[in-house]
Structure 1
Amino acid sequence: MATDHQAEIEALRKTFQQISSVSNPEGLRERIAELTEASAAPDLWDDQDKAQSVTSKLSHAQAELDKINAMSAALDDLETLKEMADEEAGSDPETAAELYSDLERELGQVGADMSELEIRTLLSGKYDEREAVVTIRSGAGGVDAADFAQILQRMYLRWAERRGYSAKVLDTSYAEEAGIKSTTFEVSAPYAYGTLSVEAGTHRLVRISPFDNQGRRQTSFAAVEVIPLIEQTDHIDVPEADIRVDVFRSSGPGGQSVNTTDSAVRITHIPTGIVVSMQDEKSQIQNRAAAMRVLQSRLLLLKQEEEAREKKELAGDIKASWGDQMRSYVLQPYQMVKDLRTGYEAGNPEAVFDGDIDGFIDAGIRWRATGVKAGEGE
C-alpha cells in the first residue's frame, strides 16, 4: 500500500515539475512586481481603461502564482501525511488505516487539481490568455435552429457563471417565432479565449421538435465563433474609409422597442464584408466603441488565420484538421452529447445545457495540443 502511495506522489511531483517549467513561477513574480509598481503610479486612474487593464493583469498573475504555490504546498502535505501513516502502521494499525484513507482522499483531490493546472499549460497560443468574444448564429433547421442558438447561448453563460467568470451580452438578434438569429457576448477571465476557442465550430441538435405539430424528429444546426478580445498594444488600424456606420433603434424580442433613440450601431468593414452590431450600451458613442473593439478582434483573428495558413503551407498537413461539425446533442431516440473530434461524450444533455461542459473543453484542449482523443493513452 505504502509503495503505491509513494509512486502516486512521485508521479504527481513529476507532473508538477513539468507544469512549473512551463508556468515559470520566477517570471510570474517578476511580472507581478512590475504590475504592482505600475498600479501604484499616482496618475494611473487618469486613464480608466489602462488602469483596469493593469489591475486585471496583476490580479490574474497573482492568482496563477497562488495556484502554483498552493499545489507545491499540497504535495508537501501529501508527503507528511504518508510519513505519519507509515509510522503508525507498525504500532497502531487502526490509526494508520484512517491516515491512509485520508491520504487516498487527498491524492484524489490533488490529482484533480493538478489536471486542471496542467490544462492551463496547454494554452500557449499567441492570444490564449486573452478574454473572449463569442458569437452564436442559427443555421439550417428553421425555428428549431433559432431555438438551439438560444439554448447554446444560455449554456455558455451558465458555464461562465458556474466558474465565477464575468459575461456580458453585447448584441442579440431575435428570431420572429422563437429563439435568436445571432448573439455576441464577452467572457472576461484569464485564458477565456484559449479555453473557449475549442468550442468554435458547427453544433448539431437532434430532438423531437417542440414546434412541429406532428411531433417529428428535427435536426438543426448552430455555428459558434470565438475570437480573442483585442488590447491597445495590438495596433489593428481600421481606416475610416474602410467602414460604413449605420445607426438604428435597439429592440428586444418581437421587435418591441427598448430604446427611443437611434443608439444601436452597425459597422460594416467594406474590404472584408465583416458586419458587427452593438445595442447593449445606452449611448451611440458607447455602442460604436464596443462594435469597433469586436471588429478589430475579428480582423486580428483573420490576420492570425492568414499567418497560420502560410505556416501550414510550409510545414504540410501534420495532423487531421477540425471538421465543421464538431459536436452532436442528441435528445431522441436516445440521450447523448458527443464531441466528434475528441470522442468525449456525456449521457446527460440537460446537465450539459446547464453549463456542465468542462469535460468537453478539457478534452478539446488536450486533443488540440496532443492529438490524443478521450480515453486513449490511459
Structure 2
Amino acid sequence: MLDKLEAILHRYEEIGMVLTEPDVASDADRFRKLMKEQSDLTPLVEKYLEYKKCKEAIEDSEQMLEEETDPEMRQMLKDECNENSEKLPQLEQDLKILLIPKNPDDDKNVIVEIRAGVGGDEAALFAADLYRMYNKYAEGKGFRTSLINVEDIGIGGMKTVSFMVEGSGAYAKLKYESGVHRVQRVPVTESGGRIHTSTATVAVMPEVEDDVDIDIPPEDVRMDITRASGNGGQGVNTTDSAVRLTHLPTGIVIYSQTERSQLQNKAKAWALLKAKLYDLKIQEQHDSEAELRRSQIGTGDRSEKIRTYNFPQGRVTDHRIKVTLHRIDDVLNGDLDELVEALTTADQAAKLLKMQND
C-alpha cells in the first residue's frame, strides 16, 4: 500500500509541475484533464501526508525517549507517542477507503425514473411521494432538478416520472436508490381502513457525457413529434412540441413533453435514451461478473426489494444493510443522509474485504 501511495504522491507533484508550464495552459482540453486528475488525487494525498507526519512524529518521540532522562520530558514524549499511535489505525483505514477505485460515474448528473408498481392508484400516489422525496433531498444538497416526463393519474399520483438531477456527486449520492421500494399504509382510496402494500420501482442512471462511447445509429431510432397531452401548463398543449423516441433494437420508448420547445424536449428525450442504453450496458457487464454483483451494496437489479416504508409503525427499513429508522416523515421529506451514509459505508466495507481477499 505504501509503495502505491508514494507513486500517487509522485504523480500528484508531477501534475503540479506540469500545470505551471506555459504550453499546458494554452491547451484547454489537456489543462482541464490535469486539473480534474489533481482534484481527484488531492483528498488521498492530503490524508497520506497526514499519515506520514503522524508516523514521523511517533518515530521522533521514540528516538528522543531513548536519550531523554528528565522524568517530565519523558512523560510528555510518551503522551505524544501514545496520542499519535492511537491516530494511526484510523488514518490507515481512511487511506484504504480512499484507495478503493472510484466509480467514474460518481461525479455525474443523474436521470431518475420512478414507475408505479403493484397497488393501482396507491402505487401511483407512492411514486409521487418518492418523486417529492428525491426533489427535497436534491434541493438540500444544492442540486438542481428538472422534469423530463410525467404521466399522472389526476389525484396527485404518478404512473411514471423521469427527471434529471444536476450537480457534482449526484450519482454518488443517489446510486443506491435503484430497486423496488415498498410502502405499507392505509391508502386514501381505501374506505375500510385496511393496510395495503404497494410498490414503486426506482432506476438511477448516470447522465451520458461525451467521454462515454454510446453508439446509436440514426436508423435504430424512430422519432415522432406529437402535441403534448395532460397537465403540461399553459401553452404546452397548443403546439406540436412533444417528442417520442423509439429505440428499435431494444424496444425502449422515451417520451418528453414538459418543455414548450420541441428542441428542449428532444434534448431531454435523447439524454434519457442514452442514459438507459448506458445503464443497460452496465447491467450486462455486471451480469457477466457475478462476483462483482455479490460484492455490491445494491446491485442495481430493478427487481431487488431494497426498502420498506411502514406508516403504521413510522419506520423505514433498508433491507440491504438491515438499517431501520423510526422517522418516516423526515425521510419522505428528503432527509436521506443517514441512509446514504450507511449504504456508502457498507459498500466501502464490502469492497475493502474483496480487495483484501484478492
Q: TM-score w.r.t. structure 2 length?
A: 0.71
Are residues 284 and 175 of structure 1, via their aligned partners in 2, closer, same or farther at CA, if it must alter by over 3 Å?
Answer: same
Equivalent residue number for residue 298 of structure 1: 276
Asked if residue 284 in structure 1 is aligned to residue 262 in structure 2, the reply is: yes
Q: Please report how far the alpha carbon of residue 235 of structure 1 lies from its aligned counterpart in structure 2 after TM superposition.
A: 2.3
User: Residue by residue, what CA displacement relative to the aligned partner does 1:300-339 show, whole Å, maximum 9, x if unpaired?
Assistant: 1211222222233xx598558756110000011x111010
Conserved? CA contact 1:122–1:366, under 8 Å: no
Q: Please report how far the alpha carbon of residue 221 of structure 1 lies from its aligned counterpart in structure 2 after TM superposition.
A: 0.6
User: How do 1:192-211 residues align onto structure 2 when only pairs under 5 Å count?
Assistant: 192-211=170-189
Residue 149 of structure 2 aligns with an amino acid whose one-letter code is D
User: How do 1:1-378 residues align onto structure 2 when only pairs under 5 Å count?
Assistant: 21=5, 62=39, 65=42, 124-253=102-231, 258-312=236-290, 322=299, 324-332=304-312, 334-371=313-350
Helix, strand or coil for the counterpart of 1:355?
coil
Are residues 207 and 66 of structure 1, via their aligned partners in 2, closer, same or farther at CA, if it must alter by over 3 Å?
Answer: same
Residue 308 of structure 2 aligns with an amino acid whose one-letter code is S
Residue 350 of structure 1 aligns with an amino acid whose one-letter code is D
Gaps (5+ residues) in structure 2?
A: 54-71, 73-86, 352-358
Instruction: Supply the distance in 1 between the matched residues of 2:190 and 2:23 (Cα, whole angstroms).
Output: 60
Moved more, 134-143 or 275-284: 275-284
Q: Please report how far the alpha carbon of residue 186 of structure 1 lies from its aligned counterpart in structure 2 after TM superposition.
A: 1.6
Q: Cα RMSD over matched residues?
A: 4.3
Helix, strand or coil for the counterpart of 1:259?
helix
Helix, strand or coil for the counterpart of 1:233?
coil
Equivalent residue number for residue 67 of structure 2: none
User: Residue by residue, what CA displacement relative to the aligned partner does 1:111-162 show, whole Å, maximum 9, x if unpaired?
Assistant: 9xxx999987657224233221111111111111111111111111111111
Instruction: Supply the distance in 2 between the matched residues of 1:139 and 1:155 (Cα, whole angstroms).
Output: 17
Instruction: Supply the distance in 1 between the matched residues of 2:273 and 2:328 (Cα, whole angstroms).
Output: 34
Instruction: Supply the distance in 1 between the matched residues of 2:22 and 2:208 (Cα, whole angstroms).
Output: 24
Helix, strand or coil for the counterpart of 1:169?
strand
Identity of aligned residues (%): 31
Are residues 220 and 241 of structure 1, via their aligned partners in 2, closer, same or farther at CA, if it must alter by over 3 Å?
Answer: same
Conserved? CA contact 2:97–2:348, under 8 Å: no
Helix, strand or coil for the counterpart of 2:280?
helix
Gaps (5+ residues) in structure 1?
A: 1-16, 45-49, 77-89, 91-106, 373-378
Conserved? CA contact 1:336–1:347, under 8 Å: yes
Moved more, 27-36 or 179-188: 27-36
Equivalent residue number for residue 13 of structure 1: none
Conserved? CA contact 2:241–2:262, under 8 Å: yes
Conserved? CA contact 1:204–1:325, under 8 Å: yes
Helix, strand or coil for the counterpart of 1:237?
coil
Conserved? CA contact 1:250–1:257, under 8 Å: no
Instruction: Supply the distance in 1 between the matched residues of 2:21 and 2:305 (Cα, whole angstroms).
Output: 45
Conserved? CA contact 1:135–1:225, under 8 Å: yes
Instruction: Supply the distance in 1 between the matched residues of 2:137 and 2:234 (Cα, whole angstroms).
Output: 29
